């Protein structure tokens, strides 16, 4: 690994961590698209800051752009509060107007300056090692490390100082207001941090990757944990890993570094979306399948309980009769019986099914739940004799009962 490669990855990792830190709170507040608005709308602030300072490296550009980001949030909330349009429409109205103003200003008054809208959108991390910070003739390293590191430190300081207040205002704004925490001030403080982080990353990675780093890693971490500290740390870690992986993908394929990093962020979210232990698509599917088989087993218990001790018991409680009675396939009947036997609800003797003590208790519980507390011994009528199908037959047993996935 060359020194330039290390510098590129270092800048990308610090930038990813800086974006993911406040991004976690944006995801929890359902304001992910606000980063899109801010990252585009701060362009006129950068331009105006350059007109005032005539220095692209001036820290006043960050201040001016951050102020524009806060103005963007303020305008979006004004439009939304009219209740004439929803928040997504308000965002779609405000940020294109501000962004277009910035593009017009660049093309009209800054055509000969290295302040290009293409660079703002796409960024170019490959140039990061050549933009050095030099003080007193001493090369201190890539300027992007210090710029991104500064906003990372600022974000960490703000969140660390107001962590409890931010948590309360994020999950229960009404309680935060009742406790005198001034959620409005916290909100604009957080938006100020977001704006400063976005503009600091503008020149290095471009707005597209900024949006990806603000939203993707926190969204992936959100699917993996229920604890806020773990989510924050996880989002920063995922962002850093995506930055490193994206660089080497770009190196191998000779493609855009920022584009590869954004692609890795999308892949990380896709993996979390599919395979998260509790909220992932696969976990939800498996949980739903277990609930379907459990429901089928409960209906089997009701059937056995209904005929237990009657003259029909010898016929109705035969294992082979289940296919005829419920319309199940042989495989579905076998899996349903296995599900019931695994839970120690039934026993099989001489091709006849018998309820165990726990199975009889479960059948009574199901009947009480299904009849709103009526006597468990009452006939269940169509419930017991309904033609229920199991998951393997195409229909879902839980279609007749609400289950939580």
In contact, 390 and 397? CB cutoff 8 Å: yes
Give me the pLDDT at residue 290, please: 84
- Check whether residue 22 and residue 165 sit in a common domain: yes
- Check whether residue 193 and residue 320 sit in a common domain: no
Q: How many domains does the chain have?
A: 2
Rounded-to-integer distance, Cα 405 and Cα 378, Å = 31
Full-model pTM: 0.76
The domain boundary, picked from 157, 188, 208, lies at 208
What sign does the CA torsion over 258, 113, 150, 72 have?
A: negative
- Check whether residue 25 and residue 155 sit in a common domain: yes
Place of tokens 């379907």: 292
Q: What is the CATH number of the domain that holds 30?
A: 1.10.3470.10
3-class state of residue 234 by DSSP: helix
- Check whether residue 196 and residue 292 sit in a common domain: no
Rounded-to-integer distance, Cα 405 and Cα 400, Å = 15
- Check whether residue 43 and residue 169 sit in a common domain: yes
Cα→Cα distances 281→219, 227, 278, 302, Å: 15, 20, 9, 31
The domain boundary, picked from 208, 228, 247, lies at 208
Rounded-to-integer distance, Cα 159 and Cα 142, Å = 26
The domain boundary, picked from 162, 191, 208, lies at 208
Is 26 inside a domain boundary?
Answer: yes
Residue 317: burial class (beta carbons within 10 Å; 0-12, 13-18, 19+): buried
Is 27 inside a domain boundary?
Answer: yes
Q: Work out the number of other CB atoms within 10 angstroms of the CB of residue 289.
A: 12
Cα→Cα distances 339→289, 294, 299, 355, Å: 12, 7, 12, 13
- Check whether residue 66 and residue 185 sit in a common domain: yes
In contact, 374 and 365? CB cutoff 8 Å: no
Is 254 inside a domain boundary?
Answer: no
Q: Work out the number of other CB atoms within 10 angstroms of the CB of residue 160.
A: 8
Is 308 inside a domain boundary?
Answer: yes
Is 241 inside a domain boundary?
Answer: no
For residue 59, what are the domain limits? 3-208
Is 16 inside a domain boundary?
Answer: yes
Q: What is the CATH number of the domain that holds 338?
A: 1.10.10
User: What is the rounded radius of gyration, in angstroms, for the C-alpha atoms of the chain?
Assistant: 30
- Check whether residue 51 and residue 140 sit in a common domain: yes
- Check whether residue 7 and residue 151 sit in a common domain: yes
Is 232 inside a domain boundary?
Answer: no
- Check whether residue 72 and residue 191 sit in a common domain: yes
Rounded to a whole number, what is the largest CA-CA distance in the chain?
Answer: 101
Is 144 inside a domain boundary?
Answer: yes
- 79-98 confidence digits (pLDDT tens): 888 888 888 788 888 888 88
Q: Work out the number of other CB atoms within 10 angstroms of the CB of residue 340.
A: 26
Digitized pLDDT (tens) for each residue of the chain, 405 residues in all: 788 889 889 999 999 999 999 999 999 988 888 887 887 787 788 788 877 877 666 777 778 888 888 888 888 889 888 888 888 788 888 888 888 888 888 777 766 555 555 555 556 677 778 878 788 888 888 888 888 898 999 999 999 999 999 999 888 888 888 888 888 888 888 988 888 888 777 767 777 788 889 999 999 999 999 899 999 999 999 999 999 999 999 989 988 888 889 999 999 999 999 999 888 999 999 888 888 888 888 888 888 888 888 888 878 888 777 777 888 888 888 888 888 888 889 888 877 888 889 988 988 888 888 655 444 333 333 333 443 444 544 444 444 443 333
- Check whether residue 124 and residue 13 sit in a common domain: yes
Cα→Cα distances 59→51, 66, 291, Å: 13, 11, 58
């Amino acid at each position: 690994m060359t020194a330039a490669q290390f510098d590129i990855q270092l800048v990308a990792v610090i930038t990813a961590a800086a974006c993911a830190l406040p991004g976690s709170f944006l995801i929890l507040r359902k304001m992910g698209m606000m980063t899109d608005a801010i990252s585009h709308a701060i362009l006129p602030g950068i331009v105006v800051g350059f007109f005032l300072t005539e220095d692209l490296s001036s820290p006043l550009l960050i201040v001016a752009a951050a102020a524009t980001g806060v103005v963007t949030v303020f305008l979006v909330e004004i439009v939304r509060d009219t209740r004439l349009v929803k928040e997504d429409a308000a965002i779609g109205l405000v940020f294109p107007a501000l962004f277009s103003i910035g593009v017009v200003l660049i093309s009209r008054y800054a055509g000969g300056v290295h302040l290009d809208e293409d660079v703002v959108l796409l960024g170019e991390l490959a140039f990061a090692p050549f933009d050095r910070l030099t003080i007193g003739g001493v090369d201190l390293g890539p300027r992007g490390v210090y710029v991104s590191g500064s906003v990372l430190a600022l974000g960490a300081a703000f969140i660390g100082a107001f962590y409890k207040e931010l948590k309360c205002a994020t999950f229960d704004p009404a309680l935060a207001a009742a406790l005198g925490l001034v959620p409005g001030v916290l909100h604009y403080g957080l938006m100020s941090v977001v704006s400063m982080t976005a503009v600091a990353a503008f020149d290095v990675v471009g707005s597209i990757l900024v949006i990806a780093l603000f939203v993707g890693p926190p969204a992936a971490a959100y699917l993996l944990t229920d604890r806020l500290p773990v989510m924050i740390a996880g989002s920063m870690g995922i962002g850093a890993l995506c930055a490193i992986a994206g660089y080497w993908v770009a190196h191998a394929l000779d493609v855009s570094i920022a584009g590869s990093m954004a692609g890795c962020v999308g892949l990380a979210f896709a993996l979390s979306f599919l395979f998260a232990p509790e909220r992932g698509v696969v976990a939800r599917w498996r949980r739903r399948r277990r609930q379907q088989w459990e429901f089928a087993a409960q209906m089997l218990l009701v059937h056995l309980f209904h005929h237990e001790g009657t003259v029909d018991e010898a016929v109705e409680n035969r294992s082979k009769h289940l296919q005829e009675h419920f319309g199940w396939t042989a495989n579905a009947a076998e899996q349903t019986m296995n599900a019931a036997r695994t839970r120690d609800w039934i026993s099989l003797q001489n091709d006849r099914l018998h309820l165990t003590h726990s199975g009889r208790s479960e059948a009574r519980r199901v009947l009480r739940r299904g009849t709103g507390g009526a006597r468990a011994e009452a006939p269940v009528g169509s419930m017991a004799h309904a033609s229920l199908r199991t998951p393997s037959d195409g229909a879902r047993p839980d279609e007749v009962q609400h289950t939580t996935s």
